Amino acid sequence: MPSSSSLSAPRRALVTGASRGIGAAIARCLARDGLDVVINCRSQVERAEALAADLRVTGRRVTVKPFDVTDATATRAALDELLAEGPIDVLVNNAGVVRDAPFPAMKREAWTSVLSATLDGFFNVTQPLVMPMVTRRWGRIVNISSISGVTGNRGQVNYAAAKAGLIGATKALSLEVARRNVTVNAVAPGLVDTEMLEGAPVDELLKLVPARRLGTPEEVAELVAFLASDRAAYVTGQALGVSGGLG
């Protein structure tokens, strides 16, 4: 469903960490739904460019904007450039990293890098984009959390803390902006078939999943696309699982 009438410009979405995995699937779904899409990535610029070229067949304007969401200065500069071209109506905070280790053996760097990517990244990208959404009286912010942040997961004290923190930020921010038709929601994927699962004991983990299979990036992206649309106008401050019943 196109999210804007033929009289107005297409809505524009920024998806962070969108060169691959769930982020790429989200970019794909949003372009399909008629949004212009800005694909952010940190290092995988070639993959992001290939995805952008692929998505341009939808007729939408799709661009690549590489920046590291943990770098406040670089992020601010990139966002200023994007805002100079036009508003960002939809923000999907998807960028994230895993650095799993049993907690007693977890290095401080594994803790800080995971929290920074998720929480500093959320602040650096979201804070400059919120007030323009408020002023325009329309906006959608979707934060990609994780079932790990809801239930906890062995080896992921850092990741669970970051993703639970993101749910708290989602709920608090939703309260501030709800009156201005800006919604803020979190999506919490379970075990999804992406490169992030490399090295994980998938067969063991699947025993915990009631659906007994991995999810696909597309299954997560469909919920994000719904939350980004007009149809989800009354859904805000929620953390919704896409996990085959896990958590």
Residues with a known catalytic role = 159
Which residue, 115 or 134, has its beta carbon nearer to another protein? 134
CA distances from residue 153 to 85, 148, 150, 159, 187 in whole angstroms, order as listed: 41, 5, 9, 9, 17
Member of 176, 200, 210, 231 binding another protein (CB under 8 A): 176
Does the footprint of another protein cover residue 134 (CB under 8 A)?
Answer: yes
Distance CA 245, CA 247 (A): 6
Q: Least distance in Å: CB of 138 to another protein?
A: 12
Helices (H), the chain: 21-32, 45-55, 72-85, 108-115, 121-136, 148-151, 157-177, 202-206, 217-227
Q: Check if the beta carbon of residue 192 is closer than 8 Å to that of residue 220.
A: yes
Q: Least distance in Å: CB of 180 to another protein?
A: 7
Task: Kindly give the pairing relationship between strand 139-144 and strand 182-189.
Answer: parallel
Which residue, 129 or 161, has its beta carbon nearer to another protein? 129
Member of 62, 169, 177, 232 binding another protein (CB under 8 A): 177
Q: Which stretch binds another protein (CB under 8 A): 42-50, 83-91, 119-127, 173-181?
A: 173-181
Distance of CA 205 to the CA centre of its chain: 23
Distance CA 165, CA 159 (A): 10
Q: Least distance in Å: CB of 230 to another protein?
A: 19
Member of 2, 85, 137, 210 binding another protein (CB under 8 A): 137
Q: Which stretch binds another protein (CB under 8 A): 3-11, 27-35, 105-113, 171-179?
A: 171-179
Does the footprint of another protein cover residue 131 (CB under 8 A)?
Answer: yes
Which residue, 175 or 200, has its beta carbon nearer to another protein? 175
Q: Which stretch binds another protein (CB under 8 A): 3-11, 15-23, 177-185, 188-196?
A: 177-185
- Between residue 202 and residue 241, which ones bind another protein under the rule CB under 8 A? none
Q: Which stretch binds another protein (CB under 8 A): 27-35, 127-135, 199-207, 216-224?
A: 127-135
* Encoded tokens for 193: 């078939």
Member of 59, 135, 200, 213 binding another protein (CB under 8 A): 135
Across 8-44, b (16+ Cβ under 10 Å) vs e yields eebbbbbbbbbbbbbbbbbbbbbbebbbbbbbbbbeb
Distance CA 83, CA 89 (A): 10
Q: Check if the beta carbon of residue 90 is closer than 8 Å to that of residue 41.
A: no
Which residue, 134 or 214, has its beta carbon nearer to another protein? 134
Which residue, 91 or 144, has its beta carbon nearer to another protein? 91
Q: Which amino acid is at 136?
A: R
Residue numbers of the site for another protein (CB under 8 A)? 131, 134-135, 137, 176-177, 179-180
